[in-house]
Structure 1
Amino acid sequence: MGLGHPVDALHRALTSAGVHGMEVIVPSYGSVEVVDAVRQVGGVPVFADIDADTFCLDPAAVEAVVTPRTAAVVPVHQFGHRADMGRISRLAQRWGLAVVEHVEQESSSTETAMRQANAAYLTQRLTDVVTPRIRPGAGHTFLQYVVRVPGNGRPDRDAFARTLRARGVRCRVPVQTPVHRMPLFRRDVWLPETERAANECLALPVDAGMTRRELHRVAAGCNALGGLLQPA
């Protein structure tokens, strides 16, 4: 299916794809509304792991969970980074699956351009976090600017976030709990990249209206913590 679907159109797209009683492959990383939509139309969510760089569904992980009962796959363009639609579409064609894209949020081209400029500023200046990686040709609108905090996972990431907030830098954990570990949707699956992202990632502000002074404060606050949370 061509363009991405916002949340309020997912039900129609999934119904049209004929997923009732069938399996639908979805990401577990930050996609509660997608999983909920699949269940509401009678589909069975099947979780696949994400790509470590883009946080979008890993096409190889998708193919690994395809069964004769699989009807569709829902690639989510995570944080504004486009999923690998070329590989997923070829995979879907090979297995006879419907593809229902999901876009987290729409924004104007002006807002997108400003966020992209702010993201580029941070990427050039941040030194002690792993900055966003963009798959060649994919494009990224930076609905969220998500970095990885090096160290020992969640304890170090959370300590890093607390210190940043104390210094006046707005930041948030983009995904606290993957969907497959939530009580309502729990599945006994092992998704290593999903778990690692949930433990290491932090979203820094790149809002369209931010000034260079504010962006400098973000970069300086992060860089001042460099080395403090590194593993021994």
Structure 2
Amino acid sequence: MVKIAPSVLAADFNCLYEEIKRVESEADLLHFDIMDGQFVPDITFGPVVIASLRDKFNLPFEGHLMVANPTQWIVPFARAGCNIITIHRESCGDPHQLIALMREKGVKAGVALNPDTSLDSLENILSEIYLVLIMTVNPGFVGQSFIREVLPKIRNLRQVREEKSLSFEIAVDGGINEETAGEVVEAGASVLVAGTAIFHAPDPQKALLKLKEAGSGSKDSAEKNRS
């Protein structure tokens, strides 16, 4: 089954608890885009926000660190309650040290790649991480259009995973809706991060279920084609 991670950045901040509560029962995890105003222009969630929500929801929290200095933020967000922390390959010189720090703090390690970043940058760390997050928009803003040219990267990553007999999740973030969900799952994605398509819909829970159905149908079709 395809996993859906609602991206909380697209929710209404005036009623954040209520917004998340509307999708909690059908979501598989919650995705928090953490921006520092340096790696990307905007500033969003701090550890205090994560901590204030942590005991109210049983879902895993993923902290997506869109920050210039991830070393500074791994421990605070781990303490705040993130179960998964995803760092950007573009913002870290030696990811091995950061992955080791995440493991030490009891969180699962993820690594994100911007649309133009090559899979070669992950070559020596794939066996160490829980999740690879492929960006299908340029990071930093909600509601951008899906970059279809990234689809071959997802396919290639799936192939590498199969060839090396690894088990990391392939997550995709950016422009995910009912149409693109099927495309990325067919390419190899197992986790769909979606914000606008869920929280801006008249019925967010129904929108989430439609995404899951679109993704799951494509996954079944892709598996039949590969068998």
- Which TM bucket (shorter chain)? under 0.3
TM-score, normalised to structure 1's length?
Answer: 0.26
If each structure's helix is expressed as a fraction of its own residues, which one has the higher value? 2
TM-score, normalised to structure 2's length?
Answer: 0.26
